[in-house]
Structures are given as structure tokens and as C-alpha cells.
């Protein structure tokens, strides 16, 4: 027993909860006092310089949101106060795991980060081109991203690391299935959907709250590369996606997306068969149909990439009155880690950079720090309250209290009974959503990716992952096993 290495904090304190964040009840929000979460995320945010830790390779464009439908029964946000309202936006697309010089056609989710410049402040909706994610607790995020980066010994991308993590975390299966389909290699940024991914909330003029998910449906149609086509494009033009977007907008072929929402009441959430705040799950559209909101259009390429795209900073914490958060654990973790990452990357005054600055009123008592370029408050007071200025806290913006399911705080297993169905939705995706050709391509992509697993644990990792595929769909498991040359034994089928 003396040879066992105990898991410790950076200061040497042993601890046990490295995968589950402390929450208020099994489905409640994250507690600020869980310092292990903050230590992991704060260190993770500072691991790379000067690139973004994730989403390093990206491109962006300006445009507008036009409101086409009335959703004021759900939200009092001024941006949606009447049909016909327009709002300037910035949309940044990106790959997730690659470095700044990586190829646009890599198999990877695509970031879909929107900044709405509203009269009530800037609203950042920071999602992906997928409605789900690989993990559902923020403590898992840094560990997951490490497996998508480079091996600490060889400095090479490692299929072994990736599949070892995924095989040990079955909650990843839904996103893995999407990633390994042709949706993992979009043909262009104009031909993909966007999602807020997380569950958010909306609050109306009567202080009533509903839970929402945001969808952005491309009006150009979905277009993906096969695995072979994506590999070929890496050698032909590693910047093909950025080139395509720049040229389309330059030719006034402005891409558009239909903005839609799904809405769930608080009562429906309590009676829902699974956790509606689980980022690895989708809400069935048959139960929660898409509701039309508006249209976003991209019509202007930034005049300087570094100033307006590289320096752009997004954070899900930036919401506006009428739009708010939910107990989604990953969202709660991002509320802290994203602004922290931007302060590290761009400095404490990153919101003074023109592309990030609210074009309307900004009144606060933040002063000093690196690159304070807005006059630094000049001679006005730097404390609140005071007897000299006329800045007030407007009580009309106060949100209603969020009703929680428990007052007991603790480390609740994210995959406890009732939270551990990792297979139903991936199985439905494979059997009912994908076409025959998409299923064949997905299996081929999985086999190709898993063929790179090496080392003494190769068979263990492969067999463990195969069990997940079998649990999702027997046909999927059999096809992948056959492609890898693995004989399926009774033991594997029993575990499935």
C-alpha cells in the first residue's frame, strides 16, 4: 500500500472527487466552493500561449440577426421585443482540438460562437455544430481536451489516448457517433448547423422562466466530406473553409441560418424521463418542436483578422436580461472558465478591445489592469455605492429565483442510476437518423480511427469501446468488430 500514489491538489492535499463537481442536489447547479474544479480549470486555461486553449483555428464574419417571429411570451429580452428588430452579430467558426495552423478539414466538432451586440449589452452564445458534447461535468473537460492534443512524450496526436478516454467514459458515445459520421468533416462552414448545445433559460415580462435550447439551421443545406475527401482536402487546401467563407461573402453570396428554439417548462423538466440539463443528450423534437425565431446572415468579412477575429472573446456568462442560465453542469463550469481564459489570453480588460466592446452604454467600477484603454473611468469614483455619480442598480432587471430540487450539497455521481443511459440516443442516431450510406461511412471512419490504437493496452481499449458500440446497436458493434478483425466472443456480448 505504501507504493500507491495518492491523487492530490497542486499543494499536495489528497482528494477523491476528481470527476464529479459538487452540486446542489443530483441535478442542481455547481457550487463555487468546489475548489478542485477551479484549480483544474484555472490551470487548464493557462496551459497554452498564445493560442486559445481550444478552438485555436478559426474564422469569423459580421452580419445581422433579423427577428421574424414573436417569442415575447417566453422572453423579455429587448432584442426579441418585436418582429423586424435587427441586431449586429459576429460569428466565429472554429475547429476544437487542432492548433492554429491545423487543417480546416480535420475530423473535429466545429465551434459556432455568436456575439450579439444588443442594447442591453453583448450576448455571447457559444456552441458547436453538434447539439451534444463528449462530457457532462466540467471537471472532465481538461482531461478530455488533453486526449485531443498531443502525447506528452512523442508530441504526436494519439488515437490511443483518444479511444482510451472515450472507452472509459461511455457518456461520450453520443458525441463520438456524431464525430465519426460525416458530420465530423463538414465540407464548408456555410453548410453546417449551429447549436447553443447547453440548456439555457428565458424569462418573460411576468418573471416566468422556461428552459430553452438554441438551434441555427443552415439555409445552404448540409454538405459534408467523406473521410477520404477530408483527407484529400488537407493536402489540397488546409484553409479551404476560411477561403470558402471569405469568397462567398466577397461575392455577396451571403450565408444565412434560421434561428429556432426548443422550449421546456419547469414542470415538464421535473417530469422528464432523463435529466434535461445533461449535455450528452438531446431533447426529442417530437416532444419539443422547433419554434421559429429569426434569421442570421453573414455579410461582412472583418477588415483585420487579428483585431476582429483573433482578439474576439466569447463567454457563455455574457447573457442579457430575459436570457439566463440553467443547472447544466458544463454550462455552470464554462461561466467561470471562459472569462478566466479570456483574461489570461487577452488581459483583464479584454472587453475594452473594440470587437468585444458593447457599442451601447457600459457603466461600472472596473479600473486599472493591463491595457486599460477606455479612459480608465477618468476622475469618476472607483467604488460603489458613492455620493458623486448617478449610476444606479436597476431593480427591474432582477431575475426570479431559480427553484432547485435539493438543499443538500455534495459530489453527486454524474452517471448515477437515472443518469446513466448513454446508449439509447446514440443507437437511435445510428438506426433511425443516419441513412444506409451514412452508417457505412460512420463505421469506416470508426474503424480507421481505432486502427491507430497501439501499445500494450490496445486490445483492452478496443474491447472496452466495442462493448459501448454493442450496447448502442448490435449491428454497429458487429460491423466495427469485423472491420478491426476482432472475433466477437460470448464474454463481449454478455457485457453488451
Please confirm whether the linkage preceding 50 is cis (ω < 30° from 0): yes
Is 128 part of the annotated catalytic residue set?
A: yes
Active-site residue flag, 386: no
Cα 196 from Cα 326, distance rounded (Å): 13
* Active-site entry in 20, 45, 122, 128: 128
Dist. CA 416–CA 64, nearest whole Å: 43
Report helix, strand or coil for 419: coil
Cα gap 104→100, rounded to integer Å: 10
Beta strands in 173-225 (DSSP E): 194-195, 200-203, 209-218
Contacts of 420 (CB under 8 A, 6+ apart): none
Q: Which three cell numbers stand for residue 186?
A: 463538414
| DSSP type of residue 196 | -
Question: Which residues make Cβ contacts (< 8 Å) with residue 451, sequence separation at least 6?
Answer: 159, 484
Contact between residue 461 and residue 453 where contact means Cβ atoms under 8 Å apart: yes
Q: Residue 195: beta bridge partners?
A: 128, 215
Annotated catalytic residue: which of 55, 193, 240, 422? 55
What nine digits make up the cell of 1? 500500500
Of all helices (H) and strands (E), which one includes residue 308?
none
Helix, strand, coil content of the chain in percent (nearest 5) = 35, 20, 50
Q: Which long-range contacts (CB under 8 A, 24 or more apart) does 10-17 make?
A: 10/39, 10/43, 17/139, 17/411
Q: How far apart are CA 110 and CA 189, in angstroms?
A: 8
Q: Which of 83, 94, 91, 82 is nearest to 63 (CA)?
A: 91
Q: Which of 126, 123, 112, 115 is nearest to 78 (CA)?
A: 123
* Residues tagged active-site: 55, 128
Amino acid at each position: 500500500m505504501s507504493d500507491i500514489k495518492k491523487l492530490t491538489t497542486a499543494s499536495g492535499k489528497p482528494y477523491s472527487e476528481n470527476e464529479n463537481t459538487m452540486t446542489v442536489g443530483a441535478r442542481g447547479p455547481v457550487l463555487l466552493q468546489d475548489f478542485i474544479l477551479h484549480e483544474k480549470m484555472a490551470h487548464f486555461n493557462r496551459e497554452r500561449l498564445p493560442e486559445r486553449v481550444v478552438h485555436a483555428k478559426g474564422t469569423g464574419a459580421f452580419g445581422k440577426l433579423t427577428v421574424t417571429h414573436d417569442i415575447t411570451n417566453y422572453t423579455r429580452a429587448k432584442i426579441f421585443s418585436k418582429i423586424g428588430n435587427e441586431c449586429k452579430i459576429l460569428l466565429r467558426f472554429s475547429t476544437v482540438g487542432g492548433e492554429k495552423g491545423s487543417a480546416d478539414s480535420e475530423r473535429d466538432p466545429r465551434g459556432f460562437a455568436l456575439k450579439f451586440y444588443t442594447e442591453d449589452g453583448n450576448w455571447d452564445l457559444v456552441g458547436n455544430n453538434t447539439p451534444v458534447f463528449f462530457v457532462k461535468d466540467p471537471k472532465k473537460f481538461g482531461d478530455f481536451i488533453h486526449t485531443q492534443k498531443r502525447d506528452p512524450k512523442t508530441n504526436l496526436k494519439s488515437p490511443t489516448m483518444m479511444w482510451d478516454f472515450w472507452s472509459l467514459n461511455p457518456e461520450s458515445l453520443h458525441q463520438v457517433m456524431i464525430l465519426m459520421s460525416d458530420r465530423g468533416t463538414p465540407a464548408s462552414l456555410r453548410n453546417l448547423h449551429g447549436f447553443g448545445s447547453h440548456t439555457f433559460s428565458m424569462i418573460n415580462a411576468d418573471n416566468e422562466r422556461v428552459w430553452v435550447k438554441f438551434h441555427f439551421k443552415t439555409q445552404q443545406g448540409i454538405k459534408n466530406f467523406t473521410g477520404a475527401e477530408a483527407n484529400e482536402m488537407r493536402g489540397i487546401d488546409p484553409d479551404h473553409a476560411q477561403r470558402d467563407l471569405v469568397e462567398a461573402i466577397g461575392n455577396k453570396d451571403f450565408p444565412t441560418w434560421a434561428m429556432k428554439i426548443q422550449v421546456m417548462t419547469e414542470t415538464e423538466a421535473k417530469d422528464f424521463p432523463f435529466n434535461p440539463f445533461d449535455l450528452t443528450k438531446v431533447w426529442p423534437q417530437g416532444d419539443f418542436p422547433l419554434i421559429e425565431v429569426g434569421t442570421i446572415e453573414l455579410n461582412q468579412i472583418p477588415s483585420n483578422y487579428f483585431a476582429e477575429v483573433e482578439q474576439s472573446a466569447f463567454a457563455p456568462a455574457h447573457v442579457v436580461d430575459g436570457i439566463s442560465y440553467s443547472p447544466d453542469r458544463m454550462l455552470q463550469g464554462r461561466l467561470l472558465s471562459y472569462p478566466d481564459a479570456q483574461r489570461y489570453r487577452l488581459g483583464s480588460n479584454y472587453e475594452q478591445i473594440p470587437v468585444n466592446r458593447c457599442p451601447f452604454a457600459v457603466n461600472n467600477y472596473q479600473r486599472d489592469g493591463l491595457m486599460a484603454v477606455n479612459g480608465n473611468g477618468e476622475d469618476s469614483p472607483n467604488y460603489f455605492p458613492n455620493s458623486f455619480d448617478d449610476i444606479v442598480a436597476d431593480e427591474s432587471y432582477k431575475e426570479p429565483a431559480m427553484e432547485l430540487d435539493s438543499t443538500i450539497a455534495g459530489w453527486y455521481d454524474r452517471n448515477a442510476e437515472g443518469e446513466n443511459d448513454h446508449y439509447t440516443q446514440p443507437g437511435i442516431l445510428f438506426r433511425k437518423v443516419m441513412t444506409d450510406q451514412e452508417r457505412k461511412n460512420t463505421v469506416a471512419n470508426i474503424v480507421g480511427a481505432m486502427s491507430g490504437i497501439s501499445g500494450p493496452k490496445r486490445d483492452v481499449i478496443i474491447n472496452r469501446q466495442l462493448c459501448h458500440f454493442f450496447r448502442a446497436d448490435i449491428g454497429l458493434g458487429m460491423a466495427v468488430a469485423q472491420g478491426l478483425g476482432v472475433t466477437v466472443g460470448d464474454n463481449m456480448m454478455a457485457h453488451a
